[in-house]
Structure 1
Amino acid sequence: MKTWELRRRAGSLVQFLLLLFAVSVAVFLLLKLIPGGPLDALLPPDATEEQIAAAEAAHGLDQPLIQQYLSWLGGVLHGDFGTSFQTGQPVGEAIAERLPVSLEIAFLSVLLALVVSIPTAVWAAYRPGGIVDRVSTIVSSALLATPSFVLGIVLIFVFAMTLKIFPPMGWVPFSEDPAEHIQKIILPVVTLAASEIVLFLRILKGDMMATLQQDHVLSARARGLPTWRILSGHALKQSSFSLVTVSGMVIGRLIGGTVLVEAIFSLPGLGTLAITGINARDYVVVQAVVLVCAVGYILVNTLVDLTYPLLDPRVRKEKAS
């Protein structure tokens, strides 16, 4: 492996670790700044100073702030996120139960958005002003003006309550009943994918239109190459940088940002877990959910950065030089 590649990877690793450290500090201190404290939900309003001191000692809140952080971080690194003040359940178990739900919904939503937006954007850019371009512009404008929770309610009313094609809400694990699992996940995935389709479509269409005017694409046309080869081999790959970047950001955002959709469709994901923790002032749960979502966001976007040299070899040449 070349020296420049080793230096680049070492630099990326150091940057990644520093970013994780900064996120952990921010998550730990953020909840310390919230008025009140985690013991407010456990102790009665007329608790004595002795009761408060005993509760603080039991939960390690009487220690210096740095020691609290180090103890919390050490537990996190060993997979121990603490115990819920309200339920007594280990927070790691609660996250392990709900994280697959949020991950599945997020990835399927982005996958559906890509499947719909990529061919639509490619053809709209190749035939600007054509029927595909005009229809996609109208539909995307309508979707852009419709909030996700409104679209979710409309889909439930039309496809669940009126046509009775899909169940309105709830969740069944794939291992228990694959057919019912697929039926229950379709409407939430479509709801989340709708707004992302608009985003992906507009980004890729703009980049494709610019790429199609570049010299190497015009040269390929002059050589008589097939249209599908020009669009897929010459234009699409080069135009995918922004799309890949935004896709990674969207996946990271959706992992913990599906609160409204999870509430509408009664899905047991991280969003509902966070809302439950906030309402109950269960700070340990909220802290763990925020940390997992932030780390997931960083990991996804780090993986996205690693795909750039695969999309365009010129990136490797630029870094090598």
Structure 2
Amino acid sequence: MDPMDIDDDIPAASAAAPPCATRGPARLGNLLNPYLMRAESRQLDETVDEFLARLPPHPISANLDALPPWYWIVNPHVGLEYYRQQRDVDALERQGQDLLDRYRERKTPGNAFLPRHGSAELEKEIAELAKATGMVEGKWMLFPTIEEVNETWALVANATANNRLGTAAKIATAGKEEGDRCRLICVYTRDFTDKEDVERVLLELVRMGLVPAEKGGGKSKGKGIHYKCDAYTHLDVYAGNGYGLRPSIYSSAQMLPYHLKANTADSSITSKRVNRLGLS
């Protein structure tokens, strides 16, 4: 996996946000966990250090074929109302595929894509469908190298458990291809339309040294990161898709320069993109 191919994350069956238990998440005092008794997730009765020791991202000693695709840690401080929200993944996938199919049918004969305004309208329609079906989670994507992965995952896991990041985080147990030198880490937020919360999580990653505030800084050696909504993951919208859709809807390169300049956030590229999606 090329760490610079930030518009492409791993298409796996469990690629979307953690499922909400039908009987509600497990409790430990005021802490919640929807992944009770799931070996690939941190349990409430183990410390973060114990979880990391039990499931280190590198080296992986188990047979790759026997591994789950992801290791998970959820934010145990997320309130019960989050897990009670109605989410209809079947409707998103069914109606979203209809939107994609109609886009393909409207392609101009002999041309690879419709004009850009066609894909922009499709982008807006999918965003509206995601809101209507309650499928509004999204994630910042990090691609640490094998040499960096244990330290990076430990930082993300501790920050998630201590309510400093978003609703959950996961790490791929193996690269997309054998021999990959990078692993994907996803840091989830509850709602991609909540730009303030998306930016808050990004700024925390900057403070943790995982994202450079400017080119050349941070553990990522100047590499920015991108944010993808789960709706695109469910609809298999990855880099090189035939719809003219950009898989990532936000980037650190868009958000940070405007945050770091005093009082200019309202005129940011990202704000304009949110307005275009009809989410403001």
> Which TM-score tier does this pair reach, normalised by the shorter chain?
under 0.3
The structure where helix makes up a greater share of residues is 1
Larger radius of gyration: 1
Give the TM-score, by structure 2 length.
0.26
